[in-house]
Every structure is written in structure tokens, then in C-alpha cells.
Structure 1
Amino acid sequence: MNIKQNNFFKKSLLSLAVAGAMSTAFIASANAENSAKDIEILTVTATRTQLNIDDTLTSQVVITRADIELANPISLLDLLSTVPSIDIATNGGRGQNSSIFMRGTNSDHTLVLIDGVRVSSATSGGTSLNTISPEMIERIEIVQGPRAALWGSDAIGGVIQIFTRQLSAGELFAGASYGSDNFTKFNAGAGISHGDGQTTITISKEESDGYDVQEGDETDDDGYDFTSVAIRGQQKVSEDFSLEWMLSSDSGDNEYDGYYNGSDIKNHAWLLRANYASNINGVNNNTVFSVGQNRDSTDSLSDGQSQGVFETRRNQYSIVNSSQLSADLQINLGVDYYQDDVSKSTTVYDKEERDTTGVFAHALYTENDWTFEATVRHDNVEDVNSENTYNVGVGQKIDQDTRIVLNYGTGFKVPTYNDLFYPGFGTPTLNSELSETAELFLETKIYDVNTSVSLYRSKIDDLIGRRDGAAANFEKVEINGIEISANYLALGGTHDVNISYTDAEDQSSTTSTGELGYEQLIRRAKEKFNYKFVTTISEVDVYAEYQFVGSRTDDVYGIGKVDLSSYQLINLGLNYDVSNNFSVSSRVTNLLDKEYQTASSYNSQERAFYVGITYKN
């Protein structure tokens, strides 16, 4: 960070500190509104069973439908970029490839689920998030820290679970938006009742001429065109038995520069889930059986001609039983099985199918002000290896507003098909990447300011990199980080502040003289700062967002490490209810028209404006 940027950052923090000090006098008058906000938030991702977020021993962020409508995001990444310790890297803007780095871990160390279905690619290990429309999302649960003992492979940095939209029976909406770069979007949804059940159907159609996403001589605009459909429903069959179903489908095409200058993308996920409640010898049980599939398909194009298809199909099955043995003790037992299939890809892999079976046991015990959690899991991955993982946690509620939690957990990441079998690169003898993480966090209220502080340390061994042109286990990483978040009501609105510092070092790197040297992992900033302010002025909901992302490095083939400068963004959103049925919304992204890059040589969007109208019955 240069001196000018450092001073700006310090001034921004100072201004916020002064504003926070000035607001103390206003907080007392906001206590009534604050109490109204103290409602129970139920989550399922942290324990795989429904639980109050205040009772889980994990660092969590929940983004609700109300949060989404206030921010008016253009993409899912607009929402994730404001979460502490999450770095976003995109090869251009909306519609292009993107990566998420949670708590300094690699982009494939975060497990992504849609309504419980794994949606990462078995070939690349990545997850296509830029095709998911925010209009299809009801809620996002983000669990930070390892959850491999519950979910298996990939959950080293954390878990992101996206829940598709749920509308009440008879509820419907329809909207249209227009914006910069000839952006247009049409979306609609409806809730349909059927006896003791309900189904929600939503659809979104979005396209844009885009802009030139990459530096170089090719200066044409790189556009995209995506269509998203989601169906989510449930049916109560009897007092104890119910069914749920989900279908999520994203398809479209995008353009970019180079010999491969376009892609056709087709992704879908579906799920059928059965829930059965029973009482055996006085013990209440809830048993959930799920069957589903994820498919991701990318057809790389050159001037409209197919150059090769990468396609993964993953069939998934699971059964989880939750038993409430007493008011204080809950036991969860589960089995997961999934099969990866890459036989539809153009690339010929030496092995086209792989089975993975995992079994786990999870216990949560509460006594007075203490909560204890323990999870153990065994995964058997065909033709790779078997892994045992565990999580242990203890939390104490010191008073009504304060608790302290200590966690320790292990995780692993199975090598992808590309790592193992891609011609000229894959190494079939690779081991899984392994991690150990310790975390201490405190949640409290200081002068009615909800505050949390998290300290964590992770070690990851056997990371997969390239050695002599082939995949190999050799990299070692140590990550140390701190997150500080605060939420308070003052000056007529709600303030959300989070600061994170992430030191993610590659301890296997060497200097030009061949000596061991420690380097920050690429595309990950040490410093991040986010501030959000929401208020209502003359019946107009106002959303303001400031982001600071510190300097980073990238690795360019044939050149080596290059520096990426720090950057600051201001985004604004407005919402106004014209009537009981019609509302108008707008968003301005990159208000100050900053030039910045999250990946070397790839441009980010200039200042952009969007406006939309929505009808709700």
C-alpha cells in the first residue's frame, strides 16, 4: 500500500470512529427498534440440522432476502464481496469466470451448496457463481472455518449454502431492469398452493453487451446472456412425513478475448428430500433422506465453433438422523454417498467415475451456560485415499449479550480429475490436501453495539501445485487472521462495519537464489474493510456501501509474480414503493469510477447505473 492510499485508509477509519463516537447519544433512542430486530435466526449449514444461529459454535454470516432487496446486487459476487475475509477475483465482470478465497484458503477450499446439493466441478474444482441470479435466492448461509467433519471434502475455508426463493401461496412478482453496457433483465416468480403444500417458480433472463474485459489489442466488448430457472416446493403427506423438491438451472453464453473467445454454459442441480419425524422410547427423531444431482457443462468456443466440452455429473445421496436424547443433548448421525462422472467431457480421462462415501457422528450438548460440540467423520474416496476428520468446540455464555467460543477442526480436499488424470498434467498418485484450524471468537454488546472478534490460524499441507509441468503435492501454507465486526443503530440508520486481516503465506516458495521464502498467496489481500449504511429518507430506502481491498499479487505465466494495487469502491442503492404493488429500485456501482483489477490483465467495470421496476401482489 503506498503512502497516499494508506493515509486515505486511515482517514476513512478515523471518520468512521468519529461517527461512531457521535452516535452514542442516539443509540439509546433506538433501543426499541433494536429489540424488535432481536428475532430468532435459524440456520442448518453449521450442524446439518435446524438450530438457532446463537447456539451454533461457528462464525456465521446470514444474508436474507431483505438484505438482497436493499442492496439491489447485479450478481451474487456483489453480496459475497462485503463478507469479512472473502476475496473475489474475476476474469472481467459479470458473466466471466470468478474465484472466491475464504479466510486465505484456495478458491476450491470453499464448499458451495444449493439447497444441500454440491455444485462444484469435479474436473476443475471450481464453482460457477456468476450465472446465479440474485432474484433466485431466498437466503445465503456462510459458515467460516472448517466443516469437513460434517460435509466432507472441500470445506476447508468454509461453506456457502444458497437457498432458492420461497414465495407464499398466491404470492407473485414480476420485474424489469435496465442499465449500463446495454444491460437488460426480466424476472418473475409465483407461489402455487397444492393441498398441504406449496411450490415456488422463479425465472430470470439477463443479457448485456458487456465491456472489454482484458487488456491487449482485442478491444471489442465481451457480452453475456444468461437464463436462470428455479423451482422449490414442499408437500405435507401426513403429520409426520413430508416431501421437498428443488430444481435450479442456469444456462447461457459469454464472450471473452483470445483464441478461446466464448463459452456455452449449462448448469443444473435437482434434489428430492423426504422428512420423517418419529418418537422411539421417548426420544424425538427427525430423519432426512435426500437424492439429487448436479451437472456443470462448459463448451469452449473459438469464433462460435466448439473446441471442447468439460462436463461433470455428480449423483448424490444422503441420510441424516437427528435425535434429541434430552433437552440438553442432540446426536446427529449421517451417511453421504456421491458419484462423479466425467464421461461426457471431450477430454479423455484414464478414469471416468469415482465413488465417495462418508459417515459422520455429531453431538451438541448444553449445560447451563456451556455448550460443547464434537464431530467425527470418515470418508473413503475411490482410488485416492481415506480421510478421518473431526471438529471440537466449546462455548460459554458469559452474560445475556456475551459469549466466547473456541474451535479446532481438520479438513481435506480431494484432488480433482484434472489434478489426477488430465493429459500431460495429471498425477494419479496425488494425496488429498489436509488442513488444521484453530479459532477463538468473542461476541458481545458494547453500548448497544453488537460486536464480534474472531482470531484463527490454519495450516494446510500437501497443497497441489505444478512441479516440472505436472501436478504434485508439495506446497505448505500457514494462515493467520483476525476479523472484527460491528452492527449498530444510530444517526437514523443501521451501520455494519467489518475489518479483516489475513496473512496467508506459502511456506514452500523459494527465492531467486534458491532459499526458502515466505510469500503471500496470490489474489488474496491482507487488509479488507467494509462499511454499509442503510436508512430511510422521505420513504426512500437508501443503501450505501464502501469497500477497501488491500494490495495483492498475481502469478502470470511466463512473467511470474505481478503486483495488483489496492482499491476502494462505493456502491449505492435506492428503493421506493410507488404504491402497495409497485416499487422502483436503482443501483450505482463503482461510484467514483475507479480503475482496478482483481486478476492481472483483466479489467473491472467502470461506473455503472441500473434502474428497475417490480410488481408484487
Structure 2
Amino acid sequence: MKFKQKNTLTKSLLSLAITATFATSFMATANEKDEESVEVYTVTANRSSMSIGDALANQIVITRADIEIMNPTSVLDIFTTVTSVDVASNGGRGQSSSIFMRGTNSDHVLVLIDGIRISSATSGGASLNTLSPEMIERIEIVQGPRAALWGSDAIGGVIQIFTRQFEAGEFFAGASFGSDSYQKYKAGAGISHGDGHSSISISKETSDGFDVQEGSETDDDGYDFTSVAIRGQQKISKDLTFDWLLSSDQGDNEYDGYYNGSDIRNHVWLVRANYQSVLNGVKNFTTFSVGQNRDSADSLSDGIWQSTFETRRMQYSLTNNMQFSDELQINVGVDHYQDDVSKGTTTYDIQKRDTTGVFAHTLYTDNAWTYEATIRHDDVENIDAENTYNLGLGYQLDADSRLVANYGTGFKVPNFNSLYYPGYGTPTLKAEYSNTFEVFYETTFNNIDASINFYNSKIDDLIGRKEGKAASFAKVEIKGVELAANYQGLGGTHDMNVSYTDTEDQSSTYQSGDRMGELTYAQLIRRAKEKFNYKFTTSAAGADLYLQYQFVGARTDSVYGVEGPVHLPAFQLVNLGLNYEVTSNLSVTSRVTNLFDKDYQTAKGYNTQERAFYIGLNYQNF
């Protein structure tokens, strides 16, 4: 593996060694905490509940406990620790942001909240920067294509966020304060109603912010957001239950330029019925859901309304999981989406679109071998029909090790801006299409859980801008390797991951100075080849301690009016956190971000926050 930023990486590893030495000296006095091994179940990889070790997918599960010890100020803070994920933001909290998984585009990651898609029909991306971490119970991340199960967008992977639920009588409340006049107030509680319960969570955050963009306009750009989530479940009989969700994020943020502010409103609602039955000895779990995602933003100039973007998506889904035996399960389902962009001020030639997808999935285990196959057909109105599939093969080498190989295809339907935005859209665009092969090895030895993953993805007809209009022209090949390890010992838990991602845009070349003038494929923007993350957590004297080190290699970016790629230097960050239990119910939390006050950018021309301090007080009765 060859690193172009060799000197920078060497310095970063030296810094890590110094940090690790400090952490180790502290660990010697820490009280080690015995942790029971808890089996983790997921639903995102196969659209049915199963042990994470049985699914033939590369998965990461972030629990509520992980979030609390990290004490993030935004959801994006959580994703910066994930293998092969790049996060780029046009400023701070509430600003436009992107998540790139395994080198793919930001709209190649399907984002769900409790099963509901939240991507915008106009821009194609999902807005996560307004969602409060206080609303989240856990996050499941599946890396690699899963379009054969979920449909459009799932080329690089799937992120599913599950909202919090509380038992009857449980509640929490708290407040936090920090740099840039940051304030957060939060509360949540659970109530019972017969054989059911409901939970409500509320969070309000305000900050004066910082100057988000380079230039002559040096004022602070603040934000004010309120998040509310209501999650409930009702048991009708021993076989039938209903659950529901109502989630709302709304507020305003400031930025630079003529359009210097936005009023943002994101809403999700869902009603779902779950029915269990046994037919001819086959266990069935049937789910029917209906819901809607709505995102809306008013653009402002000095507080005066200028325009509105709003999209709505009605979503219907019917799935059935059939468990024939402990070795064989089959999942089948139908998804239907109705996109509507007629409510905004921009007039699109076509304002509504229906998409219907049907899929079948099977997972079979025969002693040490596991086989997986999925096929899906999507009919997209005014675009085309798309067929996708996944094939997986796993072999259990021994009780602690397995080898898995996957091949999958995926697609991304063009968004309404690419198709119909006045003066820019091209109505004849077809869907982007991908195929990916990956192989990974997982093992456990000497209290270490480790994995290594190799993957290769090819994406055809990537949509971009050509001569001022949307066009399908790019062909991309992405090659990557990921290494991750978790070790419990030496006074705490150590998580490490390193990734190398090569994103070749085969439609764009440049003159490489270190290859004797040879033409070299350009790299996709805002994606680093080299990334390294290290997390250390421990408990001592009633306190939970958290340390994070992050290295992100050099990247390129594009700037309007500048020909060719521009350079984004590598950077490294250190974050610290401490949660102290005053009593069994009362705790004090603190966090320091960008400990060494590094000056860095994730998007050219946009500033990031300097060193920041946060402290909070929390009370809970569970």
C-alpha cells in the first residue's frame, strides 16, 4: 500500500503514539470493567431481525451507550469514527453536509429513520445535520451495495437510524453549554397505555456559531434547532402489534452571501402493523407500513423570504419473513414510493413520480457454509425499469473466524434537479448503475475482534455537470481495503480502523508530476485515500472517559470558476470526553473537540470549528 502523504501520515502516527502513551499511563490506574458478551441483532442487512454474526454483510452497530460516552453535538460527529466514511460540511451545525461511504457519492448512501427514506427528491441527498443525537437509540450501518433489498440509492451502503424508546415511567432531562454560546436543553419520557407504551423526546439547541465561509463577510453564523420524536407501540393480540413514529426537526441557520439564512423543516411519520403466524409449520412475520418524509427549506436574504424548496415522499411497504427452519429463511416484499415536488416555488416540468419495487431474498446455512441470494425489480415512472441482485457466500472456518464473499449490483435514480430543474436538468438521463465485489475476513483472538475487507466497485453513467447542464458521462472505479480491530484490555476498550480508498474518475485525467508526465485518473472530490481512527474508552473512579484520534489524508475539491481540482490538505484531530456519575441518577458530561485547535477544511472555502468546550448536567431514572 503506497501513501502519497507519507510524511504527514508518519507525523500523525507519531502523535498517536504519544497520545496512546499518555492513555496507557492512565489505564494503569483505571478500574477495569467486566462486560458480558451480548449478542447484537440487526434488521438493516436483510430486512429481518437476525444476529449480526449470521448476516453476510459488513456491518457496524452504534448503540445508545456509544453515543452517550461520545457526547456528540451533531449526528455527523458520530460518522467521523466509521471506517471508510468521509464527512464534508459547508461550515458547522445545520449547514449543507455530505457523507461519502466507501468512496461513493453522498447520494449513493440510503438513509432511513425507522425504515422511512429521508433523502430529498430534488437534491437526492439526506439531511442529517439538523437531527439531534438525543433522538437516537442506535444506528445500523451496512457497507456495500444493498439495492437488491432496498432499491435506489443503496450503492455505497445503508444507514438506518432508530429513534429512542422508553418504558413507562422512565424519563430524562438535561442541559448543556459550550463554546460559541452553545446551549442545549433536552428531555424525554415514557408512558403506558394498556398493552403498549409511547415515548417522547425533545431537544432544543442554539448557538451563535462561527464564520462558516472564507471571505470578507466575517460575521458569526448561528443556528437554532428543535427536534421532537414520538415513538410508540401497541399490542392488539399475542400475534398483532402496531407501532408508530412522528419525528420533526425544524429551525433556522445563517450563512454568508446574498442568500444568508434558511428556515428548515423536516418531518417523518410512520404507522406499521406487525403480524406473526404459523402456516404449515412455517413461521411468518408480516409487516405492512405507511409513512411520509417531508423536507422543506425557505431561503432568506437578510430575513426576507426569497424561495422555498419542498419535497414529499409517501411510502408504502409490505414484507414477509418466512422461517422454514433454523437453516432456511426467505424474505419477500413490495415497496411503493410517490415523490412530489409541486409544493416549492421552483416549477418542474414533471412534479410527481411513482416507483414500485418487488424483491425476494433467501439465506441458507448448511453446516459451515452460508448462502445468500437476493433479486429485485424496480419500475421507476418516466425513467426505466431496473433489475438488481446480490449473491453472498460465507464459510465458518472455526468457532471464532469466518470468510465472506459478496457480489452485488445497485442503481441510483436521477433526482428531480438533474432531470427537470429549469436551465440545468436533462430529462433523458438514465439511472446510475454499479457492480461491487467484496471479500472480508473476521476473527476473534486474545480479546481482539478483528476484520479485513477488500472491495472493488464500478459505477457507470455517473451524473455530473457538463457544459452547464446535468449529464451522464462519468465512469468510476473504486478500490479499497479496510482493517478494523477492537481490543478489551489494558484498562479499557480500544477501537481502531484504517482504510485506503482509491476513487478513479475515468472520465477525468490530469498531468501527474511524479509519473514523468503520464496522464493519471482524477480522484473524486472530498474523499481521502488514507483514513485512520482510534478510540479509547474506559471507566475509572465513577467516570467514563473517551479519547478519539482521527487522521484524514489529503483530498481534492472543485471550486466554481477554477479550472481543475484544488487541494485540501490532510489533517488530524483529537477529541476528549468525560461523563461522571454524581449519583446513580445524576451525571455531569463534558467534551473537548479539536483539542489542539487545528485549522482544517472538509470543503474548500468553508471553515470548521476551532477548539470547543462543552459541559452538561443530566438526570435520568433508568
Query: Normalized against structure 2, the TM-score is what?
Result: 0.95
Whether 2:559 is the aligned partner of 1:556: answer yes
* d(CA) in 2 for partners of 1:443, 1:367: 19
Letter in 2 for 1:518: Y
Give the distance between the partners of 1:510 and 1:564, measured in 2 at CA: 18
- 2:286 equivalent in structure 1: 287
Aligned equivalents of 1:544 and 1:188: distance in 2?
27
- Mapped partners of 2:451, 2:558: distance in 1: 34
Q: How far, CA to CA, are the matches of 2:107 and 2:127 in structure 1?
A: 11
- For residues 3 and 149 of structure 1, do their structure 2 counterparts lie closer, same or farther at Cα, with a shift above 3 Å needed? closer
Distance change >3 Å, CA 4–CA 407, structure 1 → 2:
closer
Cα distance in structure 2, aligned partners of 1:315 and 1:57: 31
Distance 1:247 1:84 in 2: 31
Q: C-alpha distance in 2, partners of 1:572/1:240?
A: 47
Aligned partner letter, 1:520: Q
Give a deviation string over 1:231-283, Cα, whole Å, max 9, x none: 10101100110000001100000000001100000000010000011111111
8 Å CA contact retained: 2:5, 2:553: no
Matches of 2:246 and 2:97, distance apart in 1 = 23
Change beyond 3 A, Cα 1:17–1:500: farther
Alignment of 1:570 with 2:569, yes or no, is no
Q: Which residue identity is paired with 1:613?
A: L
Q: Secondary structure at the match of 1:592?
A: coil
Rounded Cα–Cα distance in structure 1 between residues aligned with 2:8 and 2:411 = 38
AA paired with 2:616? G
CA contact (8 A) 1:507 1:517 kept: no
Q: Are 2:603 and 1:604 aligned?
A: no
**Over residues 19-75 of structure 1, what are the superposed CA-to-partner deviations in whole Å (9 max), with x where a residue is unaligned?**
99999x99xx98x93xx4421101000000001000000011100000011010000
> Which stretch of the first structure deviates more once superposed, 80-89 or 305-314?
305-314
With over 3 angstroms needed to count, the CA separation of the structure-2 counterparts of 1:255 and 1:58, relative to structure 1, is same
2-structure distance, mates of 1:127, 1:509 = 27
Closer, same or farther: CA 191–17 of 1 in aligned 2, 3 Å = closer
Letter in 2 for 1:368: N
d(CA) in 1 for partners of 2:231, 2:544 = 29
Distance 1:252 1:594 in 2: 29
Secondary structure of the corresponding residue to residue 610 of structure 2: coil
Q: Is 1:276 aligned to residue 275 of structure 2? A: yes
Structure 1: which 5+ residue stretches go unaligned? none
Paired with 2:532 and 2:602, the residues of 1 have a C-alpha distance of: 16
Q: Does residue 314 of the first structure (1) align with residue 318 of the second (2)?
A: no
| Pair 21,373 (structure 1): closer, same or farther in 2 beyond 3 Å | farther
- Report deviation, 1:312: 0.4
Amino acid at match of 2:400: D
Q: Which amino acid aligns with 1:530?
A: N
1:294-353 alpha-carbon deviations (Å, 9 max, x no partner): 000011111111221110000000000011112211000000001000000110000010
The farther-off stretch of 554-563 and 375-384 is 554-563
Separation in structure 2 between the aligned mates of residue 600 and residue 19 of structure 1, nearest angstrom: 34
The aligned residue for residue 130 of structure 1 is 129
Q: Determine helix, strand or coil for the equivalent of 1:518.
A: strand
Q: Distance in 2 between matches of 1:522 and 1:147?
A: 24
Contact 2:24 2:490 in 1 (8 A): no
2:588 is the counterpart of 1:589? no
Partner of 2:466: 467
Find out whether 1:364 has 2:363 as its counterpart.
yes
Does the CA contact (< 8 Å) of 1:508 and 1:517 recur in 2?
Answer: no
2:510–2:522 Cα contact (<8 Å) kept: no
Alpha-carbon offset, residue 537 of structure 1: 2.2
Contact 1:246–1:272, Cα closer than 8 Å, also in 2: yes
Distance in 1 separating the partners of 2:210 and 2:381? 44
Q: Give the match's secondary structure for 2:53.
A: helix
Cα distance per residue 1:537-591 (max 9 Å; x no partner): 2111110100000010100010132100111110011001111221100000000
C-alpha contact (below 8 Å) 2:140/2:160 kept by paired residues: yes
The 1:427/1:485 distance shift into structure 2, 3 A limit, reads same
Q: Is the 8 A contact 1:507 1:516 kept in 2?
A: no
The runs of at least 4 consecutive aligned structure 1 residues that moved more than 3 Å come to 1-4, 12-23, 510-517
Q: Tell me which residue corresponds to 1:110.
A: 109
Provide the rounded CA distance (Å) in 2 between the counterparts of 1:236 and 1:516.
64
Specify the SS of the correspondent of 1:7.
helix
1-structure distance, mates of 2:213, 2:447: 47
Backbone CA RMSD of aligned residues? 2.1
Question: Which SS does the other structure have where 2:149 is aligned?
Answer: helix
Q: Which residue of 2 aligns with 1:538?
A: 541
* Correspondences of 1:179-190 after superposition (within 5 Å): 179-190=178-189
Aligned to 1:579: 583
Find the counterpart in structure 2 of residue 73 from structure 1: 72
Matched, 1:519 2:542: no
Question: Is this contact kept in 2: 1:510–1:517, CA < 8 A?
Answer: yes
1:273–1:291 CA contact under 8 A, matched in 2: yes
Deviations 1:68-118 (A, max 9, x none): 110100000111110000000000111211100000000100000000000
Structure 1: distance between partners of 2:227 and 2:292? 17
Matched residue, 1:430: 429
SS of 2:310's partner is: strand
The corresponding residue for 2:385 is 386
- Correspondences of 1:187-226 after superposition (within 5 Å): 187-226=186-225
Q: Alpha carbons of 1:60 and 1:16: their partners in 2 closer, same or farther (altered >3 Å)?
A: farther
Residue of structure 2 in register with 1:528 after alignment: 531
| 8 Å CA contact 1:509, 1:516 repeated in 2 | no
- In 2: Cα distance, 1:81 partner to 1:9 partner: 17
Q: Please tell me the residue identity of whatever aligns with 1:594.
A: K
Mapped to 2, the partners of 1:190 and 1:490 lie a distance apart of: 36
